[in-house]
Amino acid sequence: MSIRHISISVSAAVLLGLGAAAPAAAQAALPSVITLSAQSVGNGFGFDGNMQARTQATVSAQASGRVLRVLVKAGDRVKKGQVLAEIDDRMSQNDVAAATAQWRNAQAQLERTQSLVQKGFMSEAALDNVQAQVRSAEAARAQAQLALSFTKVTAPQSGLVLNTHVEAGDLAAPGAPIVTVYQPELMRAVVHVPASLLEQVRQANGVQVHLSNGQWVTPASKTVMPAADPVSQTVEVRLDLKPQDTQNAIPGEQLQVRFHSGNSERLVVPMQAVVRRGELTAVYVAHGDGDKARFVLQPVRLGQTLVDGSVVVVAGLKAGDRVSSTPVAAAQTTGKN
């Protein structure tokens, strides 16, 4: 999107006919004024969206028991494999002890059976049966040991803790969420586009994301999901952002996404020239020149905000109008006239 510079004419700040001893108030600068002319502005349409983590995982409990400790809090940075929470393992330890005892009994039975088979007192079929019992006991022991390891909930990836879902003393059960971890270096903007505009989104020759810090950035890639929501009739569009553009971004924060499709000639004013009073949106228009200029508050209807911070005027002004870019000074001057 190309935007030509707005032509600017600044009103003279020197009052004629005043001597060196004139009061300082009389030498105050007049409001700055810009002369409007048509500018090349990119056409397009925008949507509100939100920030999402591209890589986010909610760690769930895989063992039952009382939560003994939650070792992290929201905002903490964690490493892959770090223990996030601990669940009471006494029941799991009992299971391991019982499974180990059964395994040892099966091993002893196997040794006795092998000795009896060698002496001819038992058949090979009996030995096969005891060997199967040993294998079953080994599997039960391994399962119990695995369940014991689940009492320590660990981070599946390095990143930041987004949220903790339990407190010490809560009862954990398999599948219950414990901690959510995300990678802050990998973020994306997500918008939901009406299905009727999907083809225009696909054919857009550019897209920009307006972050909550006021910065406009260009995404690294665009992904249009292959299905529409049957209720809202919108399609999710994911825009992967560059790591250097999202260093302070957090999941869930609001943003704006604008898709571009060609240019047109429009009137543009800087955002600082706009006055908002309740439901009124207006600018101060200058009539006359120099210290004789009279500023009138002119209602306007505004359109899109551009990446340089200026805003398109849809109605209320015409080319050649002179608008104050310092509305506070214009209002003070108007009060004196």
Q: At which of 244, 263, 282 does a domain end?
A: 263
Pairing relation of β-strands 56-60 and 177-182? antiparallel
- The per-residue pLDDT for 92 is 67
Q: Are residues 82 and 118 in the same domain?
A: yes
Q: Are residues 105 and 169 in the same domain?
A: yes
Q: At which of 131, 155, 182 does a domain end?
A: 182
Residue 211's alpha-carbon distances to 60, 75, 201, 303, 307, in angstroms, are 32, 21, 20, 19, 11
Report which listed range, 16-20, 31-35, 70-74, 286-290, is most confident: 70-74
The model's confidence at residue 119, banded by pLDDT at 50, 70 and 90, is confident
Task: Quote the distance between the C-alpha of residue 326 and its chain's center.
Answer: 35
Q: Are residues 69 and 150 in the same domain?
A: yes
Q: Are residues 164 and 117 in the same domain?
A: yes
Asked whether residue 117 carries a pLDDT value surpassing 50, the answer given is: yes
Mean pLDDT of all residues in 198-214:
86
* Domain assignment of residue 66, yes or no: yes
* Domain assignment of residue 94, yes or no: yes
Q: Which CATH number goes with the domain that contains 301?
A: 2.40.420.20
Q: Which CATH number goes with the domain that contains 78?
A: 2.40.50.100
* Domain assignment of residue 211, yes or no: yes
Note if the pTM is more than 0.85: no
Mean pLDDT of all residues in 66-75:
92
Q: Are residues 105 and 130 in the same domain?
A: yes
The model's confidence at residue 2, banded by pLDDT at 50, 70 and 90, is very low
pLDDT tens sequence across 162-181: 999 999 999 888 889 999 99
The model's confidence at residue 6, banded by pLDDT at 50, 70 and 90, is very low
The model's confidence at residue 14, banded by pLDDT at 50, 70 and 90, is very low
Backbone angles phi, psi at 171, to 5 degrees: -95, 120
- The per-residue pLDDT for 101 is 82
**Per-position DSSP letters for 59-85, written without gaps between them:** EE--S-EEEEEE---TT-EE-TT-EEE
* Domain assignment of residue 11, yes or no: no
Q: Are residues 140 and 90 in the same domain?
A: yes
Name the percent of the chain lying above pLDDT 70: 85
- The per-residue pLDDT for 12 is 32
Q: Are residues 148 and 65 in the same domain?
A: yes
The model's confidence at residue 93, banded by pLDDT at 50, 70 and 90, is low
Mean pLDDT of all residues in 125-145:
81
DSSP letter for 327, please: H
Asked whether residue 285 carries a pLDDT value surpassing 70, the answer given is: yes
Q: Are residues 131 and 101 in the same domain?
A: yes
In this structure, which amino acid lies at residue 230? P
Asked whether residue 128 carries a pLDDT value surpassing 60, the answer given is: yes
pLDDT tens sequence across 208-220: 899 988 888 999 9
Rounded Cα distance, 218 and 269, in Å: 24
Rounded Cα distance, 326 and 328, in Å: 6
Name the percent of the chain lying above pLDDT 90: 31
The model's confidence at residue 336, banded by pLDDT at 50, 70 and 90, is low
Q: Are residues 71 and 166 in the same domain?
A: yes
The model's confidence at residue 27, banded by pLDDT at 50, 70 and 90, is very low
Q: Are residues 177 and 70 in the same domain?
A: yes
- The pair of structure tokens assigned to 141 is 């022991």
Mean pLDDT of all residues in 235-240:
95
- The per-residue pLDDT for 224 is 92
* 87 beta partners: 67
User: Where are the alpha helices (H) located in the chain, listed in sequence order?
Assistant: 90-119, 124-149, 198-203, 327-336
Q: Which CATH number goes with the domain that contains 209?
A: 2.40.30.170
Q: At which of 247, 263, 279 does a domain end?
A: 263
Asked whether residue 56 carries a pLDDT value surpassing 50, the answer given is: yes
Residues spanned by the domain of 116:
57-182
Backbone angles phi, psi at 153, to 5 degrees: -85, 120
* Domain assignment of residue 152, yes or no: yes
